[in-house]
Amino acid sequence: MRLNVEKLQPLGRALMLPIAVLPIAALLLRLGQADMLDVPFIAAAGNAIFSNLGLLFAAGVAVGLARENHGAAALAGVVAYVVATEGAKALLQLPPDIAGNSDLEQAAWRAKEISKLSVPAGILSGIVAGLLYNRFANIKLPDYLAFFAGRRFVPIVAGFAGIIGAVLFGYGFPWFESGVDTLSHWVVSAGPIGLFLYGVLNRLLLITGLHHILNNIAWFLLGDYNGATGDLKRFFAGDPAAGGFMSGFFPVMMFGLPAACLAMYRNAFPERRKAVGGILLSVALTSLLTGVTEPIEFLFIFLAPLLFVIHAVLTGLSMVIMDALGVKLGFGFSAGLFDYLLNYGLATRPLLLLPVGVAYGLVYYAAFSWCIRRFNLATPGREPSSAIASAAPIEDGSRGQQFVTALGGASNLKSIDACTTRLRLSLKNTLAIDEPALRVLGARGIVRPGGQALQVVLGPIADQVASEMRSAASGRSTGGAASIREAVQPAGVRRIRSCGGRIIVEVEDPSKLISAELDRQPRGWVLIGTEVQIIIGPDAETIMNELIDVSERPEGRRAH
């Protein structure tokens, strides 16, 4: 089971890239509407993003799954999506009442029907494109076809994959539509039970990061309102029934979890309150204003699992309560104050959030306080003194280098990625990490999904830290350039160049390469003929410049 979860981890991470554009879409759409600034072209700009979410998912998911996050994968995703959706339109069977209409009306009907599956089609296209990139990015073809080899081959083969998608979506559309309708009707008929289970599972799956997959079904697939599908899209399209899968998060994120922080602060040991007060205030404000809750949840998710179970149940109950009161709220990013104020004009009975939220704050405060004292839970400020003293000192250096060191060094890092609030890492040895050092650096939690995967919860700075780690892991401080030079010099260097995040070194005798030094590169390397390709990332040219003297740089050092 853990292996299966580990395989799904990259998909959960990849989904966050296209989802990250939703705040600007919601902001533009709302500001341009008549009850705000009443500027139609701004509203149209925001609606354009919502109307093309499938295309964004195709590109974003492909990049998120591809090695090196290379742009060729995004192009392949777009090609697969366009071929699949446009081909499917031509294969759709017209109903009798449409078949006799004009070509323009028929085209409009086809476009509207296919748009119902735009997001799942985009996600599938992105998955296929990412896998194709990882499989064919280094493919070699005969000399007369060499121009189409390597990464150029990926969009081509993605086009053929898109044809298969067109057949599946075109001929299978009635079954896809029936399946989505059945799922939607089941959710509606399930009523409070369905909402409760969604809220509970949404929080419980947080540990693995797979809650993003659950959210995509609810927010972008369920229901249909004038061609807009999914709770989130229907809300911004003006559907008065939309918002059931978003409203229940607002009492929890704006009131409940900040109250939980207050409970943890009040129940911390007196001598430690000052030390934990700043952290708790920071994460409470983050949850209240933006709806980003993972920094709070990972403060107690492992130290006090009972509190996390209570939190999951209360989230499910909040979904039921808000729906029973007829409250319909929506968000472009998450259930924080910013989204509440921005989308107030689209909401139904939004003022009811205030009494419900205050009540939820009191419930969270009372429940957390009682559990912490009754079961002597080790929430922040109540950890054993030995655990506090065990934190190892961190050597001087950049933040990225400090994290690399705490994670076992650059040689222990196979891949470095990040989603909204956590580092998503693949390590050679997960036991080589220094957990106390990571906590000193600001880690709110450490998740071991299984295998070589490791997640470090940091909060909104996760993506920035991941970038700093990549630079540190491939830079001089970890011996990146030095180890490459030591590895390739015995083989006789003919030429060094950079291309697409890689350093490519052409050598005279590949058998004399020192592979142990190449293995120190965190993103890996491959030998193709007499060329050693070392995956570096965005800093490839910087590292290349360290390898060669200015006077010896070859013309056209960057391959095109």
Strands of the sheet with 502-507, listed across from one edge: 493-499, 502-507, 531-535, 525-528
User: Ramachandran region of residue 450, left (φ > 0), alpha (ψ -120 to 50) or beta?
Assistant: left
CA–CA gap between residue 268 and residue 468 (Å, rounded): 33
Nearest to 267 by CA among 304, 294, 297: 304
Alpha helices by DSSP H, 247-345 = 249-251, 257-266, 273-290, 294-300, 305-324, 337-342
Neighbour tally for 492: CB within 10 Å: 13
Nearest to 230 by CA among 31, 27, 51, 9: 51
| CA dist list (Å): 221 to 187, 198, 386, 454, 459 | 12, 14, 49, 30, 28
Report how far residue 288's alpha carbon sits from residue 296's, in angstroms, rounded to the nearest whole number.
Answer: 11
Q: Are 199 and 319 in contact (CB under 8 A)?
A: yes
Handedness of CA 405, 407, 411, 413 (dihedral sign): negative
Distance CA 99, CA 106 (A): 7
Q: Which of 261, 371, 419, 499 is catalytic?
A: 419
**419 noted as active-site residue:** yes
Q: Taking the mean position of all CA atoms in its chain, how far away is CA 191?
A: 29
Q: Which residue matches tokens 């959706």?
A: 85
Contact (CB, 8 A) for 446 and 299: no
Q: How long is the chain?
A: 560
- The residue assigned the tokens 């989308």 is 343
Q: How far, CA to CA in Å, does 242 sit from each of 188, 237, 506?
A: 11, 9, 59
Angle, helices 53-65 vs 2-19, to 10°: value is 130
Q: How far apart are CA 229 and CA 114, in angstroms?
A: 11
> Torsion over CA of 441, 443, 447 and 451, rounded to 10 degrees?
-20
Report the candidate in 12, 9, 28 with the shortest Cα–Cα distance to residue 332. 28
Element (H, E) at 491: none
Q: CA-to-CA distance for 227 and 314, rounded, in angstroms?
A: 33
Is the Cα dihedral 320, 321, 327, 329 positive or negative? Answer: negative
Strand partners, 422: 457
Q: Give the catalytic positions in this structure.
A: 419
